[in-house]
Chain A
Amino acid sequence: MSGQAHNTDSQAETGQQERKELRAYGWGIGLALLLTVVPFGLVQWMAMPRFTLLIVIGAFALVQMLVHFRCFLHIGLRQKREDLQLILFSALLLTIMVAGTIWIMASLATRMAMPGSP
């Protein structure tokens, strides 16, 4: 698309772009560290009741996955959307399949009085 005339321009642009991406990786590793260390710490020193703890771990995990998608895999909202759509569609199916499985199997476990059923 751009001819020789744009070369210097695009070189400056490229440098800027690179710094931006580097920053993204930096943010990514920083946030990921934080989001990893906190739940590990909570579990190690048992700061709260089990159910709350599970919710917190789950929430931290979800946020950390988003951070990885954003900072490491560069999935954003503003580009061409096809892979975001792909990921969201996959997430929807994954949720249907996993949640459905757990729902069905938990119900079976309860009704059949299997060991450890709630």
Chain B
Amino acid sequence: MSPQAAMYQVNKYPGLNLGPGHGQDDEAAATVMFGFWVFLMSDAILFGMVFATYVTSLHGTAGGPGPHDLYDIKSIFIETMLLLASSFTFGMASLALKYKHGRIRLVSWMVVTLVLGIGFLGFELHDFSSMFAHGGVPSRSGFLSAFFDLVPLHGLHVTAGCIWLICLLGQIGRYGLDLKTKLGIMRLALFWHFLDIVWIAIFSVVYLGGLT
């Protein structure tokens, strides 16, 4: 076997993959994963436009509360750590799937990820409610409208990811690790890591940028 063929055997398609150990399923994953990447890039543009709205609305506080009055850096730091940790644990789940370490290990990592995701959402909701308490409601100003477009949009994505994860756990329970479940886990992995990348932009631009 030529070195090129060997490399091709390891990675049939770029990025996260199911690996040659899964034979026919790996082939099927190639198209689905590429399709999901394309979807994520479309989603990235969506986020980009919302970011642009946020940046151009920074001065539209209309005398209402601004970043310094509303953002709580400790809470943001905790959220960041939770999401980062969940990205890592999902990575472990991906490895457990790829190298066939059995269902228990896979499911455990997925459950840990889910708990971290829900924890993130809990802290985020707490943030929002304390912002509301300080008069930071979206109808107060253009700036707050833009904030409540951007950050909850990410939160909604994480919520969707959590629901999806629960459904996948259900599918594992019902059908075991068949092709469709595997493809679901693989795509959710991309989605989860992608959301973490969007969060980097959020905590840097919105929170850290706002608090300088």
Contact = CB atoms under 8 A, between A and B. Distances in A.
Classify A-B as touching or not with yes or no (CB < 8 A). Answer: yes
Contacts, number: 144
A1 B9 contact: yes
Contacts of B95: 18, 21-22, 25
Range, interface on chain A: 35 or more
Interface residues of B, number: 58
Nearest to B6: A13
Interface string B81-105: 1001101100110010011000000
Nearest to A100: B52
A87 B204 contact: no
Interface in A28-66: 28-29, 32-33, 36, 39-40, 43-44, 50, 53-54, 57-58, 60-61, 64-65
B139 interface: no
A105 B49 CA distance: 13
B153 to A, nearest CB: 15
B5 interface: yes
Given A36-B84, A69-B197, A80-B11, 19 more contacts: A13-B10, A14-B19, A25-B88, A29-B84, A32-B87, A36-B200, A40-B80, A40-B208, A43-B211, A44-B73, A57-B209, A68-B193, A87-B41, A94-B45, A94-B48, A97-B45, A109-B56, A115-B60, A117-B59
Interface of A: 1-2, 10, 13-14, 17-18, 21-22, 25, 28-29, 32-33, 36, 39-40, 43-44, 50, 53-54, 57-58, 60-61, 64-65, 68-69, 72-76, 79-84, 86-87, 90, 93-94, 97-98, 101-102, 105-106, 109, 114-117
7 contacts: A14-B19, A29-B84, A58-B204, A61-B204, A72-B87, A94-B44, A101-B56
Interface of B: 1, 5, 7, 9-11, 13-17, 19-21, 34, 37-38, 41, 44-45, 48-49, 51-52, 55-56, 58-62, 73, 77, 80-81, 84-85, 87-88, 91-92, 95, 98-99, 190, 193-194, 196-197, 200-201, 203-205, 208-209, 211-212
